[in-house]
Each structure stands twice: as structure tokens, then as C-alpha cells.
Amino acid sequence: MLGTRQRLAIALAFGLGLTLALLLQLPRQRQRGAPGPVSGLTESNPLLEMSASLPRSPHEQALIASAAKYNLDPFLVHAVIEAESGFDPGVVSAKGALGLMQVLPDTAALVGLPEPADAAGNLEAGCRYLAGLLAEFGGDAELALAAYNAGPGAVRRWGGMPPYRETREFVRRVSSRYRSRTGLDVQVTTRVMREGLPVF
């Protein structure tokens, strides 16, 4: 049975996702505070303000669409992109990881999306892979993030968080960015997935 804090976290996650979905339907040129077609959403609504804190980028709609397709919290995806590439789609790591979500070509092929170089394909491959890791590790966001960085084999070998400095720093950076955008611990997203409830 869920506790009060868990129910509040789930409700807040739903509210964030719903607000994001509704915001996508609003015209871009609408002025802040101008009346809109969505009743009950005002500029003093904390969910609206929190959703509006998702920074605008040329890849915003593709990010939200890919996150929704794989039932991922868009704020989690945003935090991964910030930590991986700083939203630079042209980044290539020393290991050959590409683009916004720093997807290795082998990883993209593994999830059936062998063209991770363009931004939309990269987002799709990264989200699909991250969703698979969340499923594999029982919805534990920290373990899924560790596997995203070090590979799922490393997480399985160590029976949890690998002791690698780079991996622990990556999980810390993503968690910190997620918290700065939402005010919530990154494990909130695990509670939503464990209940089988969609973020949107």
C-alpha cells in the first residue's frame, strides 16, 4: 500500500506530464498570463511553472515525443541529455558515442535504430535504451542510469551501482539536474513505473 509521500509523488509526476502535454497544444506566441483554452492553468499554478522550467531547445518537441513514446519522464530525459552532451547534437565521445544522448552505434543497432547520428533518431534510440534499462532493473532509476553509462553488464556484475568514479559522477549529475528542474528525487520516476502508471 502506498504511503502519503508516494501518492503525492505519483500525483505530482502525473500533473507534470499532463501539464507538459497540454502546454504542447498552446500556441507558442501566447504571452505569459494571457487567457488560454486550458481552464484551471494560470501563471500561479506550480505545476505549470515547473513544466515551464523545462528549457526550450530546438529539440524540445522531439524530446517530449520520444519520452512519451517510451513512457519516460521528460525531465529525466532532459537531465540525461544535459549531462551527456549539453544539448550539442554534434558531440562525439572518445568511445564513439554520438549526439544528444551519446548513443553508441552498437547500442542503437541493439535497440533496432541503427542511425543515431541525426537528433531525432538519437533521441529515439536513447529513450528506447533507457526505457529498456529501467525495465531490466525493476524501475530503479539510479541503476538504470548507471547501466546507461557503464553498461548493464557492469551493473549485473557488481550487483548494483558499479564503483567506477565516472559512472557514480554521471548518476550524481543526472540526479542533480533532475532535482533542480522538478524539486524531486530522481527515484520518483521509479515509483511511477513500479506502479505501472504512465508519466503522461
**The pLDDT value given to residue 57:** 66
**The pLDDT value given to residue 45:** 35
According to DSSP, the residues that pair with 98 across neighbouring strands are 92, 103
The predicted-structure confidence for 106-146, as pLDDT tens digits, reads as follows: 888 888 887 777 888 999 999 999 999 999 999 999 999 99
Active-site option among 84, 124, 142, 166: 84
Provide the pLDDT confidence category of residue 196 given band limits of 50, 70 and 90. Answer: low
**φ, ψ for residue 92, nearest 5 deg:** -130, 125
51: three-class secondary structure by DSSP: helix
The Cα-based distances of 11 to 6, 40, 79, 117, 198 in angstroms read: 9, 16, 21, 36, 11
The predicted-structure confidence for 17-41, as pLDDT tens digits, reads as follows: 544 444 444 444 333 333 333 223 3
**The pLDDT value given to residue 126:** 95
Q: What is the C-alpha separation between 149 and 145, in angstroms, rounded?
A: 6
Go through 98-110 and write b for each residue having 16 or more CB atoms within 10 A of its CB, e for each that does not.
bbbbbbbeebbee
Q: What secondary structure letter does DSSP report for 163?
A: -
- Residues 147 and 133 sit within 8 Å (Cβ to Cβ): yes
pLDDT at position 198 over 60: no
**Chain-wide mean pLDDT for the chain?**
76
Closest CA to 171 of 158, 184, 187, 183: 187
Provide the pLDDT confidence category of residue 156 given band limits of 50, 70 and 90. Answer: very high
CATH entry, 56-194, from 3.90.25.10, 2.40.160.40, 1.10.530.10, 3.40.50.700: 1.10.530.10
According to DSSP, the residues that pair with 103 across neighbouring strands are 98
Q: What is the C-alpha separation between 11 and 190, in angstroms, rounded?
A: 13
The predicted-structure confidence for 3-16, as pLDDT tens digits, reads as follows: 555 554 554 555 55
Question: Is 84 among the residues known to form the active site?
Answer: yes
Mapped to the 3 state alphabet, what secondary structure does 96-142 carry?
CCECCCCECHHHHHHCCCCCCCCHHHHHHHHHHHHHHHHHHCCCCHH
92: three-class secondary structure by DSSP: strand
What residue segments make up the domains of the chain, in order of their start? 56-194
The predicted-structure confidence for 71-92, as pLDDT tens digits, reads as follows: 999 999 999 999 999 999 999 9
